[in-house]
A and B are shown apart, each in its own frame.
Chain A
Amino acid sequence: MSPEIALPILIPLMAGAVSLVFWRSRLMQRLIAVGATAGLLITTLWLLASVNREGILVMQMGGWAAPFGISLVADLLGAIMVVLTGIIGFSVAVYSLATTGRGHEAYGYFPLMHLLLAGVAGAFLTGDIFNLYVWFEVMLVASFALLILGSEKAQMEGAIKYVALNLLSSVIFLIAVGLLYGMVGTLNMADIARRLAMVEDQGMVDALAMMFMVAFGIKAGAFPLFFWLPASYHTPPVAVSALFAGLLTKVGVYALFRVFTLIFHHSPGYTHEILLWGAGLTMLTGVLGAAAQFEFRRILSFHIVSQIGYMILGLALFTPLAVIGGVFYIMHHIIVKTNLFLVSGIIHRLRGSYQLKQLGGFYRSHPWLAVLFLIPALSLAGIPPLSGFLAKFIVIRAGIEAEAYGVTAIALLVGLLTLYSMIKIWSEVFWKSVPPEGDVDPYPEVRQRELWLMAAPVAGLALCTLFIGLYPAPIYALAEASAAQLLDPQGYIRAVLGAQTEMVP
């Protein structure tokens, strides 16, 4: 019995419930938020350590044997993802202490944040496809409420698109699960994988693979299904944006990785071809969208889309090196992207604007902030020796080895354009002198303590980026081991269902 599998789900759920009890006490909610996310981070590290030591860990909920009950499965990819959830959860919780207004806290910001983290961790750890749907919905409901916290006009407009498209994706996912159940008569992912190999109607299997691809593609923000993302991610309070940017789309990417390596790997024919070109177009459209924008968070939102393309590219190439690259890219991206959103929040707090045209002169007034921005920004663009360089290097090398020259060329070009839009932010916000008075709202007052609370998570995440960039050997080894697990579905099936692999009708 290993409790660390269930703890990353239970801790945020409990923390959410307890903070609801302290509905009126702002202090208690804040203490619980920081304490519980710190606890989450520690247990997820514990989980990663034991998965790394003992291989895939499985827990059967309620003691029901594998194909009948709900299994929680922690393989290396799942464990890595929950560790990243812990890191982002903790950073954002500390950051929210300074940035979340009283009004937002009074309407349940912290309980919703815990609920969101529970949904994300549940999605990463479940081994049951219907349970995955349920965790998706937990996550979605929490994200709906967080997105409209504050009820501003832009938030409403963004939320309608976000809600409509995400509900659509959930329905498609649900239909696909129902049809899959009708075909194989089981919901346990390992069991589905085993039985699907024996299904004769391969046309139906391909149709189901496409339905899962569309459903998760909407969640992940892949081309041509990403339009809800740049329409909504820049509207909520910045801590919420950062949380969404780091975790939500990556749950979609994780689900794509899980489904296409475990369940639909038998016929990697045209589905992987579609994924490949989808990845290329996702990269390109995302980065071109960003080039046209002059609002800080909107640029970053479009870059989420373009970076998703690299991860899907890793999956679509489906060679061992490419999958390593995809996993490495996810690790690098979650940390860097959240960090950039947090930096944009600090700048907003200091100057009261996200518009690049109205900002300027930060290199002179806050040189430390310039350094903190430059680390994740250059990492995103893929400048050595930062983490993004290695991530891009692995993916592109895998592309060349797989002789997918067209998509690889797009990946290289997108790296260059990413650098362009990071430099755009740099020169507008940091180098340009402050625009003449009158354009800018009067600067809001910021206390020193708040500034420290905001800067500490940013610095911590920047250190993570530097660590991945300068000392990548252990991270690469992790990515390599998890890719090996992903490419060997039999290991996963054996871990979940036990040694009995003969078919029972």
Chain B
Amino acid sequence: MEPLMAVTIGILFAAAIYMMLRRSIVKLVVGLILLSNAANLLIFATAGMLRGAPPLVPQGLSAPANMVADPLPQALVLTAIVIAFGVLSFAVVLVRRAWEIVRADDLDKMKDTDT
């Protein structure tokens, strides 16, 4: 499972970086979305891929008997997904407003504030 995850995450990162390096701002946002999903998967994978080992403590014991999956990264991923959702929806609205005002989808035409 781990090698498959690693390859998937790698492909996601590569796609994200490719999209972010394009000039179009829509593709920039797509790249950011892919990037945050890649990061979430990466955190998910750091917990270790254990099958059928929920972090539940059997009755009568104070600690789980066998090795269990670590629940904390999943909590982190949930938090990160929520935050990324909020921030990325802002970015999508921003791109739309920017297109309405600047009338350009091309980052090379947005250089007024650079120099």
> Which chain B positions have C-beta within 8 A of A164?
20, 28, 32, 91
Q: Report the tally of A-B residue pairs with Cβ distances under 8 A.
A: 103
Query: How far apart are the CA atoms of A182 and B73 in the complex, in Å?
Result: 9
Ordered nearest first, which 7 A-B pairs have the shortest CB separation? A182-B46, A178-B43, A156-B98, A157-B110, A158-B113, A137-B83, A231-B113
Contact status B101-A181, CB under 8 Å: no
Smallest CB separation, B35 vs chain A (Å): 5
Contact status A175-B39, CB under 8 Å: yes
Interface centre among A152, A168, A171, A182 (most CB of B within 10 A): A171
Query: How far apart are the CA atoms of A177 and B80 in the complex, in Å?
Result: 11
> Which chain B positions have C-beta within 8 A of A157?
98, 102, 110-113
Interface centre among A154, A164, A235 (most CB of B within 10 A): A164
Contact status A159-B83, CB under 8 Å: no
Please pick, from A148, A159, A163, A178, the residue contacting B76 in the complex, using a CB distance under 8 A. A178
Q: A181-B46, A181-B76 are in contact. Are A154 and B90 (CB under 8 A)?
A: no
Contact status B101-A171, CB under 8 Å: no
Please pick, from B35, B80, B94, B110, the residue contacting A148 in the complex, using a CB distance under 8 A. B94
Query: How far apart are the CA atoms of A156 and B105 in the complex, in Å?
Result: 12
Give the B-binding residues of A (Cβ under 8 A).
Answer: 130, 133-134, 137, 140-141, 144-145, 148, 151-154, 156-161, 163-164, 167-168, 170-171, 174-175, 177-179, 181-182, 185, 187, 227, 231-232, 234-235
> Which chain B positions have C-beta within 8 A of A154?
112-113
Query: B69 near A: Cβ within 8 Å?
Result: no
Please pick, from A141, A153, A167, A182, the residue contacting B101 in the complex, using a CB distance under 8 A. A153
> Which residues in window 27-80 of B have CB below 8 A to A?
28, 32, 35-36, 39, 42-43, 46-47, 70, 72-73, 76, 79-80
- Looking at chain B's contact residues, the main secondary structure is helix
Q: A154-B112, A231-B113 are in contact. Are A159 and B72 (CB under 8 A)?
A: no
> Which chain B positions have C-beta within 8 A of A161?
110, 113
Contact status B73-A178, CB under 8 Å: yes
Q: A153-B102, A154-B113, A174-B80 are in contact. Are A168 and B35 (CB under 8 A)?
A: yes
Q: Mark B1-31, 1 if CB is under 8 A from A, else 0.
A: 0000000000000000000100001001000
Query: How far apart are the CA atoms of A3 and B38 in the complex, in Å?
Result: 39
> Which chain A positions have C-beta within 8 A of B107?
160
